[in-house]
Amino acid sequence: MTNKQALGYMLLACKDLKLDKDQADKLWDAMFQNMDEFTEEEAQ
């Protein structure tokens, strides 16, 4: 799975949970930061 695909699933989940834009933006930023900081193996 690519980072873009993972972020797409995250946005779909945000919509399902009815998170507001600010909450979704914070989650988006946190995911991007973690994707840069950790390897796929570490994430598993």
Number of folded domains in the chain? 1
Predicted confidence band at 23 (pLDDT cuts at 50, 70, 90)? very high
Parent domain of 16: 3-43
**What is the DSSP secondary-structure string of 1-44?**
--HHHHHHHHHHHHHHTT--HHHHHHHHHHHHHHHHHS-HHHH-
Q: What is the pLDDT of residue 1?
A: 87
End-to-end CA, the chain: 12
Q: What is the pLDDT of residue 17?
A: 97
Which one, of 23, 27, 35, lies nearest residue 10 by Cα?
27
